């Protein structure tokens, strides 16, 4: 970069970050997740670029800004992994397993069906990837509402949180399988059930292998690092592990996000206790400031891909409503199964708590924009805009519905 280029990028970053934080703050004031405010800022910027505003177009297409956004996605999945635990996944119990089975499987099938009905001219890979995009629940939105209502300790809340953690794992495996299948198809390959199964097995083996090997090896690496007495070693080594596992996932033709998530799962305080005690900081506290800088850039850029003109097409509106209905129908199936098998558990909060789509869904949709088959993107702007609308609808609907479900039970 020339000096002038660096100055331009710095100015773009300054304005983008301030706008993202203002948008996030306004959303929180209105009782909505901060990510929705960041998305709206991106929608405004993207449509200003489509209208021919040079500055907005330059920001949306800046390679440096795009790279920082992609780095933010890696850190976001790393953070999600840090906030989850392997013990949580091993102790989910039959109730949470049932929720994940019906919710993930149901949304995948219903998303595929919606794509097949409303996008008949598209490839089956597009329909499959649309189903995969719906599989990940936004745990952040649900947990915030549970805490605000003071019901985080209830049985229903514990089932939702455990299921959402496991749901992220399932969604990442589904994503890796879909990306592998589409990449192979884009290179002229023909995907059979056997080939798809092989990719699914590779993704599962990578995740399990990373967790097993990482849990054994990481404490030894951190003990060795603690002897160096170098300032900032905890953060530097943790990010190095995160980026290395992301690279290995990409090397295995899997989504790099899977490597970042696995790195977060294996880096627990037991592994880095000596370094943490010396610096008196938890790893999440160290990663947080970097994440708060990079992650909003990603969501603004995702919003910038949303073309408001697409909603003038009835097909796009129908697709957004169909995807939202698919999520709601899958949630209804969860409620029905819990009512039959676990009659003592209030099924409504569990079902509603699994409805919102957020960060991970947008990550999946962004990957859909970058994948292509025979030069044609898997997701065009119309499909992407429909997915963003679905994220808005489910994220806005969930907080009041979840609060109502607990109050309804109390009155009963």
Angle 59-61-65 from CA coordinates, rounded to 5°: 60
Cα separation values, 315 from 46, 115, 120, 406, Å? 21, 11, 11, 36
Once rounded to an integer, what is the mean pLDDT over residues 23-46?
86
Give the helix ranges, DSSP H, for 30-138.
34-50, 54-60, 63-83, 86-90, 93-118, 124-133
Q: Which pLDDT score, from 0 to 100, does residue 240 have?
A: 93
Cα separation values, 324 from 66, 107, 354, 395, 401, Å? 29, 10, 13, 10, 15
User: Looking at the domain assignment, is residue 246 inside a domain?
Assistant: yes
250-284 pLDDT, tens digit per residue, is 888 777 888 888 888 888 755 556 655 555 567 88
User: Looking at the domain assignment, is residue 67 inside a domain?
Assistant: no
Is the pLDDT confidence value at 59 over 70?
yes
Domain containing 230 equals 77-411
User: Looking at the domain assignment, is residue 404 inside a domain?
Assistant: yes
User: Looking at the domain assignment, is residue 25 inside a domain?
Assistant: no
Of the pLDDT bands very low, low, confident and very high (cuts 50, 70, 90), residue 324 is very high
State the pTM of this model: 0.78
The CATH number that applies at residue 210 is 1.20.1530.20
User: Looking at the domain assignment, is residue 71 inside a domain?
Assistant: no
Is the pLDDT confidence value at 287 over 80?
yes
User: Looking at the domain assignment, is residue 59 inside a domain?
Assistant: no
Is the pLDDT confidence value at 410 over 60?
no
123-153 pLDDT, tens digit per residue, is 888 898 999 899 888 766 676 667 666 776 6
CA dihedral 106, 323, 31, 14 (to 10 degrees): 110
Residues 6+ apart with CB under 8 A from 182: 125, 129, 371, 373, 378
222-234 pLDDT, tens digit per residue, is 878 777 777 778 8
Q: Which pLDDT score, from 0 to 100, does residue 171 have?
A: 82
Structure tokens at 210: 């990373």
| Domain tally, the chain | 1
Once rounded to an integer, what is the mean pLDDT over residues 181-186?
72
User: Looking at the domain assignment, is residue 35 inside a domain?
Assistant: no
User: Looking at the domain assignment, is residue 70 inside a domain?
Assistant: no
Share of the chain above pLDDT 70, in %: 85
């Amino acid at each position: 970069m020339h000096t002038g280029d660096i100055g331009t990028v710095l100015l773009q970053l300054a304005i983008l970050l301030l706008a993202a934080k203002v948008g996030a703050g306004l959303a929180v004031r209105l009782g909505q997740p901060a990510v929705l405010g960041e998305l709206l800022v991106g929608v405004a910027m993207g449509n200003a670029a489509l209208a021919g505003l040079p500055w907005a177009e330059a920001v949306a297409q800046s390679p440096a800004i795009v790279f920082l956004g992609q780095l933010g996605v890696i850190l976001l999945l790393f953070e999600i992994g840090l906030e989850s635990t392997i013990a949580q996944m091993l102790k989910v119990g039959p109730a949470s397993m049932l929720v994940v089975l019906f919710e993930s499987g149901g949304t995948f099938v219903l998303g595929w069906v919606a794509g097949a009905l409303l996008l008949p001219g598209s490839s089956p890979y597009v329909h499959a990837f649309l189903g995969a995009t719906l599989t990940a629940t936004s745990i952040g939105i649900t947990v915030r509402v549970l805490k605000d209502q003071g019901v985080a300790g209830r049985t229903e809340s514990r089932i939702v949180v455990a299921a959402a953690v496991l749901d992220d794992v399932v969604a990442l495996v589904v994503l890796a399988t879909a990306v592998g299948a589409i990449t192979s198809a884009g290179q002229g390959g023909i995907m059979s059930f056997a080939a798809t199964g092989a990719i699914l097995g590779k993704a599962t083996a990578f995740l399990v292998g990373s967790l097993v090997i990482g849990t054994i090896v990481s404490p030894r690496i951190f003990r060795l690092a603690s002897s160096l007495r170098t300032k900032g070693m905890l953060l530097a080594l943790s990010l190095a592990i995160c980026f290395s596992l992301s690279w290995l996932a990409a090397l295995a033709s899997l989504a790099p996000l899977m490597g970042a998530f696995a790195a977060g799962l294996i880096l627990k305080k037991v592994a880095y206790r000596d370094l943490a005690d010396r610096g008196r900081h938890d790893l999440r506290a160290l990663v947080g400031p970097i994440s708060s800088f990079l992650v909003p850039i990603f969501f603004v850029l995702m919003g910038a891909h949303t073309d408001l003109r697409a909603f003038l097409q009835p097909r796009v509106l129908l697709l957004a409503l169909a995807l939202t209905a698919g999520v709601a129908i899958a949630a209804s199936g969860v409620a029905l199964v819990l009512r039959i098998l676990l009659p003592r558990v209030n099924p409504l909060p569990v079902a509603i708590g699994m409805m919102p789509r957020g960060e991970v869904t947008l990550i999946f949709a962004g990957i859909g924009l970058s994948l292509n088959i025979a030069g044609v993107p898997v997701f065009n702007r119309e499909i992407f805009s429909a997915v963003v609308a679905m994220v808005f609808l489910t994220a806005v609907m969930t907080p009041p519905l979840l609060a109502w479900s607990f109050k309804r039970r109390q009155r009963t």
